[in-house]
Amino acid sequence: MPTKNSRHCAFPGCPGYAEKGQYCAAHAAAYNKIHRDPERKKHYGRQWERLRTAFLSKHPLCRMCQEAGRLVPATEVHHIVPLADGGTDDEANLMPLCKPCHSRFTAGECWGKGE
């Protein structure tokens, strides 16, 4: 019986192949660490949603786009110093970003470390 063909890794720019799932072995490990860690998920509950909503109300534009001279609504809140590295939910540690900027920012931080 033929096996299912492997496909390209879903991580942008990765030349690797995913034997199962969406990512190659290197990116799957990093994805699971970031998106499936139960300790990480505990933090992002109802209290975080309230804080996020209030922060986006106060800061409605993407900071990165604003610096580039564009006015784009912010839809994501980024922790400048990650919680895993001792960061907090203080307003000084939060940055309003649009989805594309947040994805680029996160990919550069998380995937760029060779994890």
pLDDT-derived band at 115 (thresholds 50, 70, 90) equals: very low
Mean pLDDT, rounded, for 38-51: 77
Largest Cα separation within the chain, whole Å, is 58
- Between β-strands 94-97 and 7-8, what pairing exists: parallel, antiparallel or unpaired? unpaired
d(CA 22, CA 10): 5
**Tokens of residue 71, six digits:** 């006015």
* Average pLDDT across the chain, whole number: 80
pLDDT value of position 59: 97
As a whole number of Å, the end-to-end CA separation of the chain is 34
Structural domains of the chain ordered from first start: 1-36 (no CATH), 42-113 (1.10.30)
Express each pLDDT in 52-104 by its tens digit: 999 999 999 999 999 999 999 999 999 999 887 888 999 999 999 999 999 88
* Amino acid making up residue 102: H
d(CA 58, CA 15): 41
Question: Is the C-alpha dihedral spanning 44, 49, 54, 58 positive or negative?
Answer: positive
Is 80 exceeded by the pLDDT of residue 37?
A: no
Is 70 exceeded by the pLDDT of residue 110?
A: no
pLDDT value of position 7: 78
